[in-house]
């Protein structure tokens, strides 16, 4: 999973109107989705104050979240909602799926490299985030950040498997076949069929 893939889900930001939690989400309307999700039009919307802003999504987006004002979303450059000081640094995430990926990686006792080597988002994480000595504090901060998110919406209540599915997808990304999982279980690839 990459930052680009995580940004396909709504990104939680600080509302420029009321300083509450707002979302930046794909806003396709009646358009067919472009093959590259970072070019999709986006809408920043706040349920608390009604602030709405649109972005046409014309060109590629830069996913450098460490600008002068701290971590921000790549579309409207608003500060991220999910950010907090941790181990003398700033821990940040776009959304709950991003928190799931970070939690799975940090909580893993055994981290194996995938086939791609240093080209993955997780391989590029800063050293303080990868350090085992910071594991407890990082997981506590992730839990505090998760607690700032709203309770499931009506659409999510009708599908209670949604959050489990996101976590399962994050775990699958983190645990290739043969990898010892968080609870020490050995995961094996399914036998070939046919």
Flag whether 133 is in a domain. Answer: yes
Structure tokens at 39: 């070019």
Q: Given its phi and psi angles, is residue 28 left (phi above 0), alpha (psi -120 to 50 degrees) or beta?
A: alpha
Flag whether 43 is in a domain. Answer: yes
Say which residues have a Cβ less than 8 Å from residue 148's Cβ, sequence separation at least 6. Answer: 21, 81, 82
Flag whether 150 is in a domain. Answer: yes
Which range of residues forms the domain containing residue 102? 3-174
Structure tokens at 193: 């069929």
Higher pLDDT pick, 138 / 163: 138
Question: What b/e string do you get for 36-75 counting C-beta neighbours within 10 Å, with b at 16 or more?
Answer: eebebbbbbbbeeeeeebebebeeebeeebeeeeebbbbb
Structure tokens at 26: 């794909």
Q: What is the pLDDT of residues 60-113, one digit of tens each?
A: 565 555 555 578 888 888 999 999 999 999 999 999 999 999 999 999 888 776
Torsion of CA 48, 51, 57, 62, to 10 degrees: -70
Flag whether 65 is in a domain. Answer: yes
pLDDT at 56 over 70: yes
Flag whether 181 is in a domain. Answer: no
Residue 26 host element (H or E)? strand 21-26
Structure tokens at 85: 């000081």
Structure tokens at 107: 């909580």
Our count of domains for the chain comes to: 1
Classify strands 82-86 and 21-26 as parallel, antiparallel or unpaired: unpaired
Flag whether 18 is in a domain. Answer: yes
Flag whether 191 is in a domain. Answer: no
Say which residues have a Cβ less than 8 Å from residue 37's Cβ, sequence separation at least 6. Answer: 4, 5, 7, 8, 26
Q: What is the pLDDT of residues 8-49, one digit of tens each?
A: 889 999 999 999 999 998 887 666 665 556 667 889 999 999
Flag whether 99 is in a domain. Answer: yes
């Amino acid at each position: 999973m990459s930052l680009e893939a995580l940004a396909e889900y709504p990104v939680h930001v600080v509302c420029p109107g009321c300083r509450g939690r707002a979302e930046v989400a794909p806003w396709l309307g009646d358009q067919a989705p472009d093959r590259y999700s970072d070019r999709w039009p986006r809408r920043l919307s706040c349920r608390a104050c009604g602030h709405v802003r649109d972005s046409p999504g014309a060109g590629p987006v830069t996913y450098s979240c460490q600008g002068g004002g701290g971590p921000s979303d790549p579309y409207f450059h608003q500060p991220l909602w999910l950010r907090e000081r941790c181990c003398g640094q700033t821990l940040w995430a776009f959304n709950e799926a991003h928190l799931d990926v970070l939690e799975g990686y940090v909580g893993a006792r055994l981290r194996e490299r995938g086939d791609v080597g240093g080209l993955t988002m997780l391989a590029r994480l800063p050293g303080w985030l990868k350090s085992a000595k910071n594991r407890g504090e990082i997981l506590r901060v992730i839990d505090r950040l998760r607690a700032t998110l709203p309770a499931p919406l009506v659409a999510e209540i009708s599908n209670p498997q949604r959050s489990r599915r996101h976590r399962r997808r994050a775990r699958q990304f983190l645990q290739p076949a043969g990898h010892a999982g968080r609870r020490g279980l050995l995961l094996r690839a399914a036998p070939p069929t046919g």
